[in-house]
Amino acid sequence: ETGVTQTPRHLVMGMTNKKSLKCEQHLGHNAMYWYKQSAKKPLELMFVYSLEERVENNSVPSRFSPECPNSSHLFLHLHTLQPEDSALYLCASSQDPQGLAGEQYFGPGTRLTVT
């Protein structure tokens, strides 16, 4: 369970705050992902980075800003969030391009609460 780590595990922030979520993978992968998991809804893919280049951005509001400085690290910068942004944010990594063996490995998530 230490292949993909995320910090912090829990975060409470006000709507005017700025915070960042961090993800680190120790698997030698070259693709990383941010997902949003809300209660009773399917996981929603937010961003995909492959070889440190953003390759997918699924209509995510600009108050979420990803950053991938290298293939092992991924950040999600948060600012002026809304209460409906409260959710579990999951990071994942994989080897890209993916065949069947390119499964995604998930981190434990950051539980975000926006007050």
Partner 1 sequence: AQTVTQSQPEMSVQEAETVTLSCTYDTSESDYYLFWYKQPPSRQMILVIRQEAYKQQNATENRFSVNFQKAAKSFSLKISDSQLGDAAMYFCAYRSARSGSARQLTFGSGTQLTVLP
Q: Which is nearer to partner 1, 48 or 87 (CB)?
A: 48
CA 87-91-97 angle, 5° bins: 140
* Out of 12, 27, 51, 55, the residue judged to bind partner 1 by CB under 8 A: 55
DSSP H or E segment with residue 110: strand 110-114
Q: Using CB under 8 A as the criterion, what x/- string covers residues 62-101 for binding partner 1?
A: ----------------------------x---x-xxx-x-
Give the C-alpha separation, 53 to 40, whole Å: 31
Minimum distance from CB of 90 to partner 1 (Å)? 7
Q: Where are the beta strands (DSSP E) in 38-79?
A: 44-50, 53-57, 64-70, 73-79
Residue 84 φ/ψ, nearest 5 degrees = -70, -5
Site stretch for partner 1 (CB under 8 A), options 16-24, 40-48, 63-71, 79-87: 40-48
**Interacting residues toward partner 1 by CB under 8 A:** 1, 4, 31, 33, 40-43, 45, 48, 50, 55-56, 90, 94, 96-98, 100, 102-109
